Structure 1
């Protein structure tokens, strides 16, 4: 039975490393949340104020995405360093010979892991603050170009996980604490065009109001959607970002060709969602609704004009009401 080094670092779980780092070897002072908020808000305001009424105004959204991505990539690199250090720790624990040299090397690896973890958490805090500024600026939830957006801070719940990564982690029995946990709610909707700005706003409001009502019934909801950067998925993702609701984005697997949309339907429904929220879309979405009903799942149907319930809209039309 392990009796040293914090019970051999909780029997190799390594989730809470406990060796204290020497303060003289590295600065371990955390970033203060208020300082992060104030500094990034000032930088963001000055930077994007610079673009207004200039040749770069149309590029502001893409440049904003890049600013958030700087912190995301740096956090990902710190996460890789943690993985490498913990692999070394496992190896050293497995080959522990009790020597002073071995113990010193083990303590150094633990310290490296701790430093990398502190850096990752600080960078993720910067990314989340920048992502909130991006949302306020563009109205869109920030997502990385590839992979997932996870946060290892237990107080942050706005994770965005790619569907394939989520399914792989679940199949391997390795669901990390940062993976979304809760009740899945599938959201589906396509890209629509509108004749007026008022119609577009009415449609967007319908999506947010519908998700508000669903969340009122499902407090631990996890929003599952298709990850489209435009149209209804974008509006739903932005709602989730605003409300700190974790997301699983099942982007299309283009290798499957014409079958990609139907495969995505199956993957989302296999999560056994509490509700399927459906707004207007294409034939693949219609098939999703049919399959959901066949499986006995509750469908919140908003496929009528501007996000209305189609049956209620038809009755209103029949009675002459607007």
Structure 2
């Protein structure tokens, strides 16, 4: 995906040129780069800032340029194999900053909570409460913008590598905070509810698991497409492996915008960790399941799915070899 630019002397001009190639501003960026608080201020030591948010369209294009251009300049060179590793680090830098801002916002929210508890109705106390809430809301606003940038950079990483970017720990969640919150107690309640919803997507759950030695993308993605056509509000829950079946499913979820819950192993459980994860998946009360042959863990999950009567699709390693041979004969013809 080589980019060819006409003459442009400033970033806004570059953004306008890219608009001709890439289409419109995404709704996600339009929502994330809206001012939600007057007198933006991320700390007591900072002065109040009345400047506007960055232009959403320019930031969106900057993310594509930042990651995509790296692959362009390294393609067909001896450093091409490093492009994915470097791009992963770029996305991770945004993730790290978003994580830091979230921690600062959580501390600010605790400050608001303490002030509500100790409120005596005095003018000084009310001014301090208003300031603390403004700082918390400013941090939320900044965190949401950076998380949006991270997710768009991760989308470009996926487009270039075919693999979804995944953080070394934690979840990737972001959803624009609502703007007008009058009472500090209401603000905290709304903030807590948004946090819960972002980490626990609502919708019918489809569980997925498969081995790491799997190459047939088409078989898995076509099945997931069929399930999503029947269950458009589905949430996909996987066993969070970074290659093979789970990586294919994660890439599909990223491409289709399907909410994804990745269940990692609890290493403290030792040899029982994988079986405990299977039990967690079934505890979600899935409406459908897709299990591809892998290790004994997939066999265990398949038996549990059958025992509970969950509608399911089971694929064997031999199935993809037969399908590949069938396609090969037809392509040869």
2:66 alignment counterpart = 43
Q: 1:60 Cα deviation (Å)?
A: 1.7
Unaligned runs of 5+ in 2: 1-35, 42-46, 179-192, 324-333
Q: Is the 8 A contact 1:182 1:220 kept in 2?
A: yes
CA contact 1:31–1:122 (8 Å) conserved in 2: no
Does the CA contact (< 8 Å) of 2:289 and 2:313 recur in 1?
Answer: yes
Deviation at 1:45, TM superposition (A): 3.0
SS at match of 1:178: helix
1:174: how far off? 9.6
Instruction: Map Cα deviations across residues 53-74 of structure 1 (whole Å, 9 max, x no partner).
Output: 4443222212111111111111
- The partner residue of 1:189 within 183, 187, 210 is 210
Distance 1:22 1:237 in 2: 36
Residue 81 of structure 1, CA deviation: 1.5
- What SS does structure 2 have at the residue aligned with 1:219? coil
TM-aligned CA deviation for residue 309 of structure 1: 11
* Aligned CA distance change for structure 1 residues 28 and 144 (closer, same or farther; 3 Å): farther
Q: CA 1:174 to 1:118, structure 2 compared with 1: closer, same or farther past 3 Å?
A: closer
Gaps of 5+ in 1: 1-17, 156-172, 194-199, 311-322
The whole-number CA distance in structure 2 between the counterparts of 1:237 and 1:22 is 36
Does residue 216 of structure 1 match 2:229? yes
In structure 2, C-alpha distance between the alignment counterparts of 1:98 and 1:210, rounded to whole Å: 60
1:261 positional shift: 1.3
Matched, 1:68 2:91: yes
Provide the residue aligned with 2:198 in structure 1.
178
The alpha-carbon distance between structure 1 residues 263 and 309, as it changes in their structure 2 partners (threshold 3 A), is: farther
Query: Normalising by the residue count of structure 2, what TM-score does the alignment of the two structures yield?
Result: 0.74
> 1 CA distance for matches of 2:239 and 2:147?
24
Structure-2 change in CA distance of 1:174 and 1:40 (3 Å): closer
Q: Is the 8 A contact 2:212 2:241 kept in 1?
A: no
CA deviations over 1:64-90 (Å, ceiling 9, x no partner)? 111111111111111112111111111
Q: How many residues matched?
A: 269
- Does structure 1 residue 253 correspond to structure 2 residue 263? no
Displacement, 1:232?
A: 0.5
Alignment match of 1:124 (pick from 133, 140, 147): 147
| 2:245 is the counterpart of 1:232 | yes
Does residue 218 of structure 2 align to residue 205 of structure 1? yes
Alignment of 1:135-154 (within 5 A): 135-153=158-176
The residue number in structure 1 matching 2:39 is: 21
